[in-house]
Amino acid sequence: MSLKQKVVQGALCQCQFGTTPDKLKVLTQQKYFINDFNGSSKLAATHKDIGPTFEKNTFGSCKKMNNSPCAATVTEWSGYYEKEKYSPPDGYILLENSKATCPIGGKDCISITKTGQIGEPSESSIQNGDEELQSHISPVLNLKNHALTYPYDLLNAR
């Protein structure tokens, strides 16, 4: 896998023949979440997420159809991680370099521009993190001397 991010619901995808990106929707499962503390929004995307699996199901106008409106449909995914499988739907996890095929645009015309994941700090990442880098991120506070509360706790503490 070599440091490739896994793809989750909300990942931004773009067709090389379209004019606007669209967000991926996971329609094949409701059980497996990635990097989602509450397990509510970041469903793991797999190679089984095919068909009209985007929020708007369009990438704007399609150059392959003389700039007519695109009707985004995925027929297959390539470049997925075959060592990690979610069951059901017996789907392999998509990675940031996975590509999708559209019947109009052809093989691998749809790419993932953002995986949909957002980094969330943990106690171990603070303790094992580079002190100089942390001082640039938070110059007023030495994070190693403070207990970490989850970001959601900080937002709700107002």
Domain boundaries, the chain: 12-114, 123-156
Q: List the single range of 22-31, 35-44, 53-62, 76-85 with lowest mean pLDDT.
A: 35-44
Cα-based distances in Å from 51 to 55, 67, 73, 103, 123: 12, 21, 5, 10, 40
pLDDT tens-digit readout, 29-43: 999 998 877 778 899
pLDDT tens-digit readout, 86-145: 988 899 999 999 999 999 999 999 999 999 987 666 666 667 777 777 777 777 776 666
Q: Is 48 exposed, middle or buried (0-12, 13-18, 19+ CB in 10 A)?
A: buried
Which pTM was predicted? Answer: 0.76
Residue 66: pLDDT band (50, 70, 90) is very high
